A = this chain, B = another copy of it.
Amino acid sequence: MKIGVFDSGFGGLTVLRALLERLPGADFSYLGDTARLPYGAKSQATVARYAVSSAHFLVEQEKADYLVIACNTASALALDAIREAVPVPVLGVIDTGANAAQATTKTGDVLVMATAATVESHAYSAACGRRGLRAIEKASPLLVPLVEEGWIDHPVTEEVLQIYLSELLEEAAEAEFQPDTLVLGCTHYPLLRPNFERALPESIRVIDSAEVTAEQVAAELCLPAEACTPDGKGHSRRFYATDSVAKFRRLGSRFLGEEINGVELIDLGG
């Protein structure tokens, strides 16, 4: 069983990290389309074209049996296009986040923090709406650069997060929401999960989309028990980037939580 994990960059490595913990007996190929990141500012047609070429690579070249789209923008804008383009099951992080919110919330009122592009797509609102939940989405564009700068336990990050969260909670109060769940709608944010938990009232639970995605992959695949326990065998973990292998190694190790060696550069055109 080989699982292909795709993101525009490094953030999806937080999803891979959760998958590796839960499915140590599976093979993994991770593709970061770093030459064309960020997807966030791009149109749906462009994102779909990029995402489909990346999915083709993972399925045709890498022989992945299952695809995880660990990129919120691609999940929001290109999931249907990817599903049409490849003959394997495809799971996107927005549906997994919304599923987890549904399982967690008692009030039915959900908060989502994400990048500007994800918020503008309103994909979380739509996914929550289909599950009978109300959602308020808040763009927090400074969090990704703060994480990439490595300012995790840093007063500036605390202050920025405080500003975003108080704006979001104010908006929720005005809309007469009773939020008890906040979805981290960007694969960079799991690195700030403790910061979120410190800054939020205790009544609000934080949903880490990386973790819940890994849970749902394990459940959907109904894998034999051995795939879910370490078997001491060397299962393959391959890393591909479309540009800047050195940066991928350096930044990516922070997201994956372990050293990344042997990133291969591939050319998808563009």
Q: Which residues of A contact B (CB under 8 A)?
A: 34-38, 41-43, 46, 141-142, 144-146, 148-149, 151, 155-156, 159-160, 163, 243-244, 247, 269-270
- Is A145 a contact of B141 with CB atoms below 8 Å? yes
- Is B43 a contact of A244 with CB atoms below 8 Å? yes
Q: Which residue of B lies closest to A269 (CB)?
A: B270
- Is B41 a contact of A244 with CB atoms below 8 Å? yes
Cβ contact of A43, chosen from B36, B146, B243, B270, cutoff 8 A:
B243
Q: Which residue of B lies closest to A270 (CB)?
A: B270
A156 to B145, CA, bound (A): 14
Q: Which residue of B lies closest to A143 (CB)?
A: B145
Cβ contact of A46, chosen from B35, B141, B146, B159, cutoff 8 A:
B35
Number of this chain's copies in the assembly equals: 2
A270 to B34, CA, bound (A): 13
Q: Which residue of B lies closest to A154 (CB)?
A: B163
Other A-B pairs beyond A36-B36, A156-B159, A156-B163, 5, CB < 8 Å: A37-B41, A141-B149, A142-B149, A155-B159, A156-B156
- Is A146 a contact of B142 with CB atoms below 8 Å? yes
- Is A42 a contact of B149 with CB atoms below 8 Å? no
Q: Which residue of B lies closest to A9 (CB)?
A: B41
A159 to B157, CA, bound (A): 11
Cβ contact of A156, chosen from B36, B43, B148, B160, cutoff 8 A:
B160
A195 to B141, CA, bound (A): 21
A42 to B247, CA, bound (A): 10
The residues of B that contact A155 with a CB separation of less than 8 Å are 159
A160 to B151, CA, bound (A): 11
Q: Which residue of B lies closest to A139 (CB)?
A: B149
The residues of B that contact A43 with a CB separation of less than 8 Å are 243-244
Give, as a whole number of angstroms, the nearest-CB distance from A29 to chain B: 22
A44 to B247, CA, bound (A): 14
A156 to B144, CA, bound (A): 16
Give, as a whole number of angstroms, the nearest-CB distance from A80 to chain B: 20
Give, as a whole number of angstroms, the nearest-CB distance from A227 to chain B: 35
- Is A247 a contact of B41 with CB atoms below 8 Å? yes
Cβ contact of A41, chosen from B144, B156, B163, B243, cutoff 8 A:
B243
- Is A243 a contact of B149 with CB atoms below 8 Å? no
The residues of B that contact A146 with a CB separation of less than 8 Å are 142
Q: Which residue of B lies closest to A144 (CB)?
A: B145
A35 to B36, CA, bound (A): 8
A19 to B85, CA, bound (A): 47
The residues of B that contact A142 with a CB separation of less than 8 Å are 142, 145-146, 149, 151
Give, as a whole number of angstroms, the nearest-CB distance from A189 to chain B: 15
